[in-house]
Chains A and B, each alone.
Chain A
């Protein structure tokens, strides 16, 4: 999956307009980055990449790039 598709998946998940996320975007600047986003991210990664990420891993994420790196 290419980078743009991954960004689009995250934008869909966070209810953001297409093209609004960049890899350098800091997660804490996103209004919708909350506990619901965390469980949505676990579901998304499980569904598309067949791996389970933990709550502890999510707490360590600072930027969109950190998420992109586990989307393999």
Chain B
């Protein structure tokens, strides 16, 4: 079971980079009509989203976040022992994009690099994994990058496109003396509830297939919604049963920003006071694995927060997979939001 308490970690920094381009949901009135747009905004809570332009990718945003974090926190690049890139929008089918970022950041040959394919649960999974590496191995500093740019596809419904925003984040996790408590879960029975069926080995793209149709994003919204409002409250209960305490012990509860209807239901069921539940999806939409660190950055920019933030976080989604992770972060280690349109001009394009 992926239940663990780590006593020897420290969050050395959190940074988030988003595209400079802002798109308003009301820009889609011509396609969807005013009534439909208003209903979408009321239900999802999304009013704006940030979207990449030109050649910009998830890895570009994560690179900018990581580079800025290392500069601001004066981190020697040779001290990074591992770089983990978590996304569903990698630069290439192979190699792992973490190697591209490894090169761009100028990391040492002693720094290992690998990718993780996860979505909205990714941040809590990554925090757990990095902490196990710090506790069990010779690692001292790990750069954990999580980001997403949902693939836009003419075969995907507009509402499924505009629910998602683009963002890249970097979190520095190192050895220290703060505590992280984790509880992670998975249920493969729901693997087809959120899926892009084509483009892999199961349904390869060939000269006779329709690329856009086969690689369109499928989401069974009702199944995913039911899963979330059932399993996440259950996971919080198990978390508090295992580790003691309750929601009052935390300054904020940072949920993955799925949509407002889900957040309202979770707040009601888990009894999270609204003032303890930061909302960022109104301006950034659902940014998948980036939404928790993005939410922390946004929170520190918008509110007078304590010097040390005691957070409980929860991510949930594709897989199906979910988890609850609590940790401390000093607000001085949370960088202001970064806005960027930069991309890797020298990237290999074949």
Contacts and interface: CB of A to CB of B under 8 A. Distances in A.
Contacts of B264: 43
6 closest A-B pairs by CB: A55-B222, A39-B225, A38-B222, A55-B223, A35-B221, A52-B230
A38 B220 CA distance: 10
A53 B226 contact: yes
Interface of A: 15, 32, 35-36, 38-40, 42-43, 46-47, 52-56, 58
Given A15-B39, A36-B39, A40-B43, A46 B223 contact: no
Contacts, number: 46
B229 interface: yes
B127 to A, nearest CB: 28
Nearest to B160: A35
Given A15-B39, A42-B229, A55-B220, 6 more contacts: A35-B221, A36-B40, A52-B226, A52-B229, A55-B221, A55-B226
Interface of B: 39-40, 43, 220-223, 225-226, 229-230, 261, 264-265, 268-269
A47 B39 contact: no
B320 to A, nearest CB: 13
Nearest to A35: B221
Contacts of B229: 42-43, 46, 52
Contacts of A40: 43, 261
Q: Is the interface of A mostly helix, strand, loop or mixed?
A: helix
A38 B221 contact: yes
B222 A43 contact: no
Contacts of A42: 222, 225-226, 229
Contacts of B222: 35, 38-39, 42, 54-55, 58
Contacts of A35: 221-222
A54 B261 CA distance: 16
B265 A47 contact: yes
Contacts of A15: 39
A47 B245 CA distance: 25
